[in-house]
Amino acid sequence: MNTSNLIQIGISHLQSPLAARERVAIAAADVPAALTALKSELGLQEAVLLSTCSRFELYGLALEPQSALAAARRWFVSRAGSEIESSLTAREGDEALAHLFRVAAGLDSWIIGESEILGQVKRAYEISRAASATGPALNRSFQSALAAGKAARSQTAIQNGVHSIGGAAAMVARSLFGVNGDGAIVVFGAGEAAEAAVRHLSAKNFRRISVANRTREKAETLAARVGGAGVSLERGLELLCEVEVAVFSTGATEAILAGPVLAEIMRRRGGRSLFLVDLGLPRNVEPGCAALPGVFLYDLESLKDVVSRSVAGKAGEKRRAEELVALAASSCAAEIDKAAAMRAPREVAA
């Protein structure tokens, strides 16, 4: 099989609302089992699942691409309901491969040149490979896409300005408190987005930063890099009575801050406003919290508007990166097809 057997199907921030992405998302620990089931159900020879806060996509290699895509549509609908069908995008062959390269380069992200997506693509590939779900075609595709993503960032200026979701969170905090960053902040989580938020907040002169995580050691390690304090998740929630801004970026499968709990916190704050930035998927903060007096809640959707001015000036660099990535994808397709042609006689003989 060659490039023509590649497929991609999924949803992203471009077409689907946040709620739809929440319903279809799969926890990292459950991905290997899901890959095994999908390969069997969809008739895939190879498969990779990419699940981030902005997208959920399946990449695969199929003997019958159109049949596999039809089965994949049914699988998505079974997870998230029929309303998701209009948000699904599907690609075959060269288009599927080119899309993967654009995703890895951050060209399909709502923050052009987003830095976090490259690591997310790498982890998705590594999880799938460890689960024996990949083979020659997807191995070559993902390895080449990762290399092209790095090249696009190093050879163009698409990472100028805000280039991560964590950076977007810091931009919100800075807009609230000005250049000096006067105010106490607690960041929930210790992953890439949380680390980016802590790093950006520290660079913008926010000096009173606490990092809260279920694993206290991880929180302390991250906080130590910026002179902050690492605390338990429980202590982090207690700090909501004292801080001005809270950034949530945990891998929790359900909200860790509920409306009634926040209502009590706001009562204890005595009328002082609280700004919450929720980067989680599923969301870490119940959406209804936004209706509480004095609460200003920014989720992934509302952050798009905040960073729109930052990405507007990247148009020229984006064109350069698009050209670089398209050339790399075309070269990868030729390599896959050449390798497939060389394997064909051996496979027939076997």
Name the residues annotated as catalytic.
53
Token readout for 54 is 């902005």
Token readout for 221 is 């390690």
Of 158, 152, 164, nearest to 113 by C-alpha is 158
Of 62, 2, 55, nearest to 38 by C-alpha is 62
Contact present, 258 and 278 (Cβ < 8 Å): no
Q: Could you give phi then psi for residue 11, rounded to 5 degrees?
A: -130, 155
Q: At what angle do helices 192-203 and 216-224 cross, to 10 degrees?
A: 30
Q: At what angle do helices 315-349 and 93-104 cross, to 10 degrees?
A: 130
Token readout for 282 is 């599923």
Give the list of residues 6+ apart from residue 132 with CB closer than 8 angstroms, or none: none
Q: How many residues does the chain have?
A: 350
The single-letter DSSP state of residue 156 is S
Burial 145-173 (b: 16+ CB within 10 A, else e): bbebbeebbeebebbebbbbbbbbbbbbb
Q: How many CB atoms lie within 10 A of CB 183?
A: 17
d(CA 147, CA 160): 20
